[in-house]
Amino acid sequence: MKSIPVAGNNSSLILNLHSILRPLDFMEKYNKQYGDFYRFIEKKNLSINITSNPQAIREILTMDSDVFDSGKANKSLSFLLGDNSLILLDGKDHKSRRRLLMPYFHGKFLEQCSQKIISITNQVSDRLEVNQPFAVRPLMQEITLKVMLNLVFGIDSEQQCQRLSNLLVELLEIFNSPFKSLLIFFPILQKDWGKYSPWGNFLSLKAEIKKLIYQKIKERQKLLIKEKSKCQDIFGLLILAKDENGAGMTDEEVHDELITLLFAGHETTASALSWLFYWIHYHSEIEDKLRLETSLLGNVSDYQTINNLSYLNALIFETLRIYPVVVGSFARIPNQDTYIMGYKINKNDYLSISIYNLHHREDLYPNSKQFKPERFLETTYSPYEYLPFGGGNRRCLGSALALLEMKLVTVTILKRFKLVLTNNHSLYPVRRGITLSPPASFRMTVKNCVLGKNS
């Protein structure tokens, strides 16, 4: 029987620190040494298996989804998302929650968001001044958080949600650097030494957010009793949802799902957008090609036209390939002994896809470190060769929204401003909580306003 090469012992502190503080370097090292399928020993008879082999990925993602649990592998996120988050659910509960939410992230619901995304982008970018450098990630985060709040709480959310929005940003800033992210991975550091300690601060912000959301739930429940049809947003949908026995969701379940969507839906897209702006301006010929493509748009800003811009599409795909914001899929835990490429994966072992290693396979992406959007114009990659949003039954719920946002924000900002990188150094991803993002120091400068403000 073939066996997967052992790359190390997962209880090693050095190994863990390496994977948290220098994740890309970590993945490159083990991939180079052990190939595209290797494992770490967690404890006797329990392994963490990691693959970036397209054949293995195909087998994992097309296998009957009932064979794998993922929710229980994500338990370490319950401190942030709560136990009832979609990300922590498995089996029947996971399936029915996905079925409930899915329509809000596709088709006509997304189409309806387009104008709102454009107007939020205009409103946030109004404060950009000519010759003034600005920090890119916070600007993108403000846009993506406003979009998510709008999608979740509805159109009249802006003033009402300002406090909530500030608290969410403040809370995420606690994990905004590689060292501060250690708090997530080492429960031993999660000690409440008062409001001025990182964990104490986290708990106090989390409690305040919870109180605000519970208050909103109560208000909305009252409103829904009065006006039964007013359910134009995810908040209303969750409050009115019933399972097959006719039981509704508890306030705690509604709270956990809202928090999940707000966090998962804006951090990731903000980082992806920041990278996109970096790459567009890092190579002047890329900006020229993109401007040529978007100039043909005139004033058109409709969903279909922007969605079909092929060069912009390729640029976004390459951005998500070279530095994926989420470098590995959720772990899949088989609930029975399973075989992948003839390798035995024991019941309860962890099985994860290294998205970063997959996206840097030289057989799929020659000169993989080179940013080259044309790859995606010349080649169509299968869902087992390219997966910035994961795949199978855990595929990112918000992938279509994220792609649409990236397109609309880019076209809207480029139409208004000519931007330049404040500093031409190459950027390298840094850890920010469980995702990777451009460094906080990443800045751009407005060279001139193409259309002027408020246009």
Q: Is 349 helix (H, G, I), strand (E, B) or coil?
A: coil
Q: How many CA atoms lie within 13 A of 379 on its CB side?
A: 15
Q: Which stretch binds ligand HEM (CB under 6 A): 22-30, 31-39, 283-291, 387-395?
A: 387-395
In the complex with ligand HEM, which residue's Cβ is closer, 209 or 262? 262
**Residue of 220, 289, 360, 394 that binds ligand HEM (CB under 6 A):** 394
Dist. CA 271–CA 286, nearest whole Å: 19
Looking at residue 11, what DSSP letter applies?
T
Is residue 329 at the binding interface for ligand HEM, with CB under 6 A as the rule?
A: yes
Is residue 395 at the binding interface for ligand HEM, with CB under 6 A as the rule?
A: yes
Is residue 49 at the binding interface for ligand HEM, with CB under 6 A as the rule?
A: no
Handedness of CA 377, 428, 397, 161 (dihedral sign): negative
Q: How many residues bind ligand HEM (CB under 6 A)?
A: 25
Is residue 120 at the binding interface for ligand HEM, with CB under 6 A as the rule?
A: no
Question: Within 10 Å of residue 1's Cβ, how many Cβ atoms?
Answer: 6
Is residue 140 at the binding interface for ligand HEM, with CB under 6 A as the rule?
A: no
Burial of 82 (0-12, 13-18, 19+ CB in 10 A): buried
DSSP secondary structure string, 89-110?
--HHHHHHHHHHHGGGGSHHHH
Dist. CA 91–CA 67, nearest whole Å: 9
Q: Are the CB atoms for 344 and 367 separated by under 8 Å?
A: no
**Residue of 87, 113, 364, 436 that binds ligand HEM (CB under 6 A):** 87
Is residue 389 at the binding interface for ligand HEM, with CB under 6 A as the rule?
A: yes
Minimum distance between the CB of residue 261 and ligand HEM, rounded to whole angstroms?
5
Token pair in block for residue 414: 């480029």
In the complex with ligand HEM, which residue's Cβ is closer, 27 or 401? 401
Minimum distance between the CB of residue 270 and ligand HEM, rounded to whole angstroms?
9
Is residue 128 at the binding interface for ligand HEM, with CB under 6 A as the rule?
A: no
- What are residue 449's DSSP bridge partners? 417
Whose tokens are 């076209």? That residue is 411
Length of the chain: 455
In the complex with ligand HEM, which residue's Cβ is closer, 82 or 390? 390
In the complex with ligand HEM, which residue's Cβ is closer, 352 or 445? 352
**Residue of 154, 388, 429, 438 that binds ligand HEM (CB under 6 A):** 388
Q: Are the CB atoms for 82 and 210 separated by under 8 Å?
A: no
Is residue 398 at the binding interface for ligand HEM, with CB under 6 A as the rule?
A: yes
Q: Which stretch binds ligand HEM (CB under 6 A): 189-197, 394-402, 407-415, 442-450?
A: 394-402
Looking at residue 192, what DSSP letter applies?
-
What is the phi/psi pair of residue 361, to 5°? -70, 125
Is residue 350 at the binding interface for ligand HEM, with CB under 6 A as the rule?
A: no
Residues 88-117 as x/- pattern, contact with ligand HEM by CB under 6 A = ----------x-------------------
Q: Are the CB atoms for 408 and 248 separated by under 8 Å?
A: no
Residues 255-294 as x/- pattern, contact with ligand HEM by CB under 6 A = -----xx--xx--xx--x----------------------
Is residue 86 at the binding interface for ligand HEM, with CB under 6 A as the rule?
A: yes
Of 129, 126, 173, 124, give the one whose Cα is nearest residue 440. 173
Dist. CA 163–CA 415, nearest whole Å: 31
In the complex with ligand HEM, which residue's Cβ is closer, 86 or 217? 86
In the complex with ligand HEM, which residue's Cβ is closer, 330 or 343? 330
Minimum distance between the CB of residue 250 and ligand HEM, rounded to whole angstroms?
19
Spatial CB neighbours of 197, under 8 Å, sequence gap ≥ 6: 191
Of 297, 8, 352, 453, give the one whose Cα is nearest residue 16. 8
In the complex with ligand HEM, which residue's Cβ is closer, 236 or 388? 388
Token pair in block for residue 406: 């990236």
In the complex with ligand HEM, which residue's Cβ is closer, 70 or 445? 70
By the criterion CB under 6 A, which residues form the site for ligand HEM? 86-87, 98, 260-261, 264-265, 268-269, 272, 325-326, 329-330, 388-391, 394-398, 401-402
